[in-house]
Chains A and B, each alone.
Chain A
Amino acid sequence: MRLLIIGNGITGVTAALTVRRLRPEAQITLVSEESEHHYSRTALMYVYMGHMRYQNIKPYEDWFWRENRLTLVHATATHLDAARQHVTLHDGQQLGYDKLLLATGSVSRAADWPGQHLRGVQGLYGLPDLARMEQSTRGIEHGVVVGGGLIGVELAEMLHSRGIGATVLVRDAHYWGSVLPPAEARLVDQQFEENHVAVRYQTELAEILGDAAGQVRAVRTTAGDEIACQWVGLATGVTPNLTLANTSAVETDRGILVDELLQTSVPLVYAAGDCAQHRQPAHGEVPIEQLWYTGRMQGETVAHTICGTPTPYRRGVWFNSAKFFNLEYQTYGRVPARPEAGIDTFYWEHASGRQGLRINFRSAPGFAVTGFNALGLRLRQAVCETWITAQTPIQEVMSHLGAANFDPEFYRQHEADMVAQFNRQFPQHATVLRHRKGLFFR
C-alpha cells in the first residue's frame, strides 16, 4: 500500500506511526509545507520564551523517520487529482497514492478588521508565525492580544517573558467565557494580575491603526479607547485549512466533510484532525475538533480504517489541559461554563486562589459524576475517566477523592477540606474521606 499523508502535525504523524505498526510493509510518505520534521505545535511558545530551542520541540530525533521508513517531503502540495490518485507538489512533481490522508490542520482565523493587513499584525499557528513574531516584537514596548482563549493567554505570557507590556482584549465578561465557569476564570484573572498583564473584558477589537509606513501603531476598541501598541496578536481561533481539498472534488463545508470512519466524499481519500468536519458529530460533541489530543486520536483511528479495519471515531470521555502563566488546568468529562438543568456542581477553592476543584454530578438519583475541572491541582486521568464512565455516585467519588490526586509527593493534600466543604454544601450526600492519596488506594 502506498499511503500519502498531507501534513506532518500530530494527526498525520500519529496516523503514519499507527499504519507502520499495523502494516510493516506499507510505503508511507508525509508531505509538509511547514517544516522538514514533525514538531510540537503546542510548544512554540517555549521557543520564543527561550525555555527550549526549535530542535528541543521535535518529538522524535531525525533518524527516527529514516529508520522507520517514513519518507518526508518538505514541499507544498498544490493540487489533488482524486481521479488519477495523485497529488502535485509546488515544483510540479507528482506523488501517486493508493490511499490519501488529508491532515492539513488549520489556519488562523480573522474577522475582517480594518487594518489587519498592517505590519505587526499576526496570528500564531506555525513556525513562520513564530519567526515573524520574533522579528516584529523586537524592542517594542507594548503589544495587544485579541482573544480570550488559550492562544490569547499564551501570547500574553510570551510578550511578558520579554518584558513587553501586554493588553488582552476579551469579548466575554470573563476569561474563556465559552468554556470556563466564572469561578475558574477568576483564578485565571488573578494570574493576569500577578503578571501585570492588563485584560479588558467585554471589549472587542474595532480597528487597527497604522502609521505612514504601514506599521501598526495602535488599536481602537469597541469601547472607543485607543491603545498604543507596536504589535497585535490575533488569537480569535483557527479554521480548517482547505487549500488543497478545494483543488479537488472533495466535499467541504467549514472543514473537510467526513463520516464517522473519517472518510471524505471521495473514495480512498480520508481526512482527520483540525481540518476535518464531522457530518454527524456524536451528541454533545462539536463537528470540528482543534486540539492536540483529538488530532492524535483521529490520526490513530483513521489509520485503522486505512489499514482495512473500518473503525468509527469515538472520542471517549472528554479531556483537555492547559497552563495559564503559573496555573495548571485539567478537565475531564463535561463541565459547561454555565449551570445546566439536572446537573449539580460542587466547587472548592483554596484561600490562596491558586487551587480550585469543580466536580459536576447529576441531580437525579444515581447522582452520577459527570465532570471535573482542576486548577493548580493535578488529577489522575485514569481514575477520573473510570468514575465518569461508570457513572459513579458523587458520594463515592468524594470519599475516594485521594485516589485521583496526581500532585507530586509532599504537596499539601486538600481532600479533607474539600470533603468537609462538600458535606456542608450537600448534607444529603454527606460522606467521609476514606482514601488519601497514594498508589495503594488505586
Chain B
Amino acid sequence: MSFSSAAAPSLALAQPPLADISPAEKATLAAVGLGLLALLVAAFDADAWRARLSLYAALALISGGTLAWSWLKFGRRPAGVQQNNLWWRSSTSRGAVAWVTAVVLTGFYVLLYWYSSPDEQGNFGLLNGLVHALDPFSQALRARPADQWFLYGTFYTLAILLMGGRALWKYRHSRYQLIRTFSVMFFQLGFAFLLPGILQFFQQPEFYFTYFWPLKYDYLLPGTVDYLVQNGQALGVFMVFWGAVMSLLATPVLTYFYGKRWYCSWVCGCGGLAETAGDPYRQLSDKSRAAWRWEVRLIYPILGLIILVTVVMWLNYVLQGAILGSLADGLYRFYGFVIGAVFSGVVGVGFYPLMGSRVWCRFGCPMAAYLGLLQKHFSRFRITTNGGQCISCGNCSNVCEMGIDVKQYAQRGEPIIRASCVGCGLCSTACPRGVLNLENGPREGRYQASSLIHADSLRILS
C-alpha cells in the first residue's frame, strides 16, 4: 500500500501554535521590557537625577535581560544551526511584532534626525531627557556634554555589543562566525565609539577611522578636509591622509585579497549592526529577480551621484563658487537628506524587521557599490561550491542578508561571485551538506564551475 496521499487540493501549511516560552525566558524578556519602560521614564522625567537613575537602570535591565535571554535561548542547546520556528514567529516573519518594532525604530530615527537638534537653551526636543541623562558619561569620555549624536552612538554601540553577545552564543559552533562577530564588536566599540570620544577629550577633531569615502563622503569633501587640517594640525593632516589612503589605495588592495567582506562584515559599523542586531531579520531580504533589478537600478546611480557631488564640490572649491555657486551646495544637501539620512538611517535600520538587515547596504550604500565592483572584477574572493553535493534545499539563500539566491549557483556547481556578497559566511554555516566555502585564491579559473555537475545554461539574472 502507499503511504503517500494523492494530490491534496490545498497544500497550504497552517501555522502551528508555538511551543511555550520557558518561565526563565519570560523573566529575561520581562527585564528587557522593564528596561524599555525605564527608558521612557528617563526621557520624560523632569528631575535630572531620577532621569539619570532611570537611564542607567534601563541600560542595566536591557543589557542583562538580552544577554541572559540569549544564553537561555541559544547557549543551553547543543551548538549548531538554530533556526527553529524562524518563519513561524511573529517577530521574525513580518508579523505584528515585527511591524510594531519597525514603527518604533523608524520613529526613533525620525526623532533623531529632524526633531532633536538643540535650540538656544540646549534643549534636544523629544530626546532631551535621554541626551542629558548621558551628560556625566559624555563628560567622562569626551569632556563635553552629551548631544543627540552621542546618545545615538551609545545606543548603537550597545546594540552591537548586546546582540553581538547573542550572535556569539547562537553561532558558537563556527569559528569563522565567532571571530567575525568579535571583529565587528571590537571595531564599533573601539574605533567608532571610544576613539572618537577620546579624540574629543583631547580637543581633537572627532574622527572615525573605520568610515571612508564614499560611505562617509564628507571625509573627502573640501569642507571637512579644510576643517581637519585647520583644527587638528598634524593629526588632522594624518586623518585626511588616512581617509584618502583607505578609500583609494587600501580598499582596492584589501578587496583584491579578501573580497569586500574585509570591510562590510568585519569592520563597517552599518555592517556591524546588521550582523548583530539585524541577525534575526536576515532571512527577510527579498531573493527575487525583481529585487535584484531594483538593487542594480539604485546602488550604481547612487555611487555615480556621490562621485558627482564630490567632483562638483571640489570644482566649486577650486573655482571659489564662481561657476556652480549654490548649485553645488544644493546637490550636497539633497544627497545628505535623501541618501545620508532617509535611506541609510530611517529606511536602512528602521525597516530591519520588514525588509531584512541589509536594505541600505544592498540598495543604497555607495561604498558597497564600489567594493562590489572591485570584488566582482578584481578580487581573489569567491564562495566555492563543493562538487555536486548541493541538494537545492535553499538554506543558503534563506540566510543571505544581501538577498542573493545562493542556491542558484550552488545547484549548478558554480562558484558564487557577486558584487553584493558581503562575505558574512552564513550560507556556508547554514548549509547542511557542507557545500559552500568562502575562499581567497588565484583569479585564474575563478568562475570555473565544478565538473561533477553540469550547469545548465539557462540564465537566472538578466
Residues on A lying within 8 angstroms of B by beta carbon are: 10, 17-18, 20-21, 33-35, 40, 42-43, 46-47, 49-54, 56-61, 63-64, 68, 74, 76, 107-110, 116, 122-123, 125-132, 134-135, 138-139, 161-163, 191, 194-195, 234, 241, 292-293, 296-297, 300, 316, 319, 321-323, 325-326, 328, 330, 378-382, 385, 406-412, 439-440
Contact = CB atoms under 8 A, between A and B. Distances in A.
Nearest to A191: B78
A129 B4 contact: yes
A128 B7 contact: yes
B388 A319 contact: yes
B2 interface: yes
Nearest to A53: B87
Given A61-B289, A439-B439, A381 B389 contact: yes
B104 to A, nearest CB: 25
B393 A34 contact: no
Contacts of B122: none
B454 A108 contact: no
8 contacts: A54-B13, A162-B16, A323-B433, A328-B433, A330-B434, A378-B434, A381-B386, A406-B437
Nearest to B425: A408
Contacts of A10: 392
Given A51-B398, A52-B87, A381-B452, A128 B8 contact: yes
B397 interface: yes
Nearest to A164: B19
Given A52-B87, A194-B78, A43 B387 contact: no
B394 A59 contact: yes
Contacts of B81: 326
B80 A110 contact: no
**Overall SS of chain B's interface:** loop
B128 interface: no
B204 to A, nearest CB: 36
A54 B11 contact: yes
B36 to A, nearest CB: 27
A293 B454 CA distance: 12
B23 interface: no
B330 interface: no
A292 B4 contact: no
Interface in B69-83: 78-81, 83
A65 to B, nearest CB: 10
Given A108-B4, A134-B16, A406-B434, A50 B392 contact: no
B440 interface: yes
Interface in B274-333: 288-289
Given A40-B394, A51-B398, A61-B289, A126 B4 contact: yes
A234 B442 CA distance: 49
Given A49-B85, A330-B389, A123 B3 contact: yes
B99 interface: no
B391 interface: yes
> Of residues B1, B174, B397, which shows the largest number of chain A Cβ atoms within 10 Å of its Cβ?
B1
B179 interface: yes
A231 to B, nearest CB: 13
Given A59-B411, A378-B386, 13 more contacts: A43-B392, A46-B393, A53-B87, A63-B289, A108-B4, A131-B13, A161-B85, A162-B19, A163-B19, A296-B453, A328-B433, A380-B386, A381-B452
B434 A326 contact: no
A326 B8 CA distance: 33
Interface of B: 1-8, 11-14, 16-17, 19, 78-81, 83-89, 173-176, 179, 288-289, 384, 386-389, 391-395, 397-398, 405, 407-408, 411, 425, 428-429, 432-434, 437-442, 450-454, 456-458, 460
A110 B1 contact: yes
Contact of A325 (B78, B174, B397, B428): B78
Contact of A139 (B17, B428, B442, B454): B17
Contacts of A128: 4-8, 11
A408 B4 contact: no
Contact of A410 (B1, B6, B175): B175
4 A-B pairs with least C-beta separation: A381-B387, A326-B80, A439-B441, A378-B434
B458 A68 contact: yes
B339 to A, nearest CB: 30
B175 A412 contact: yes
Contacts of B394: 40, 43, 46, 52, 56-59
A125 B4 contact: yes
A59 B407 contact: yes
A40 B433 CA distance: 14
A234 B2 CA distance: 12
B4 A321 contact: no
Nearest to A74: B7
A225 B459 CA distance: 57
A323 B81 CA distance: 11
Contacts of A234: 3
A212 B68 CA distance: 47
B72 to A, nearest CB: 15
B422 to A, nearest CB: 15
Contacts of B441: 439-440
A321 B392 CA distance: 13
A406 B386 contact: yes
Given A54-B11, A131-B13, A107 B411 contact: no
A328 B389 CA distance: 12
B176 A17 contact: no
Contacts of A379: 434
A147 to B, nearest CB: 12
A56 B86 CA distance: 13
Nearest to A412: B175
Contact of A56 (B175, B398, B439, B460): B398
A51 B83 contact: yes
A53 B432 CA distance: 17
Contacts of A59: 392, 394, 407, 411
A61 B293 CA distance: 15
A130 B12 CA distance: 10
B19 A411 contact: no
Contacts of A132: 5
Given A163-B19, A408-B176, A17 B456 contact: yes
A109 B89 CA distance: 35
A145 to B, nearest CB: 14
A50 B6 contact: no
Contacts of A110: 1, 3
Nearest to A239: B2
A58 B458 CA distance: 16
Nearest to A381: B387
A420 to B, nearest CB: 22
A61 B288 contact: yes
Contacts of B288: 61
A161 B389 contact: no
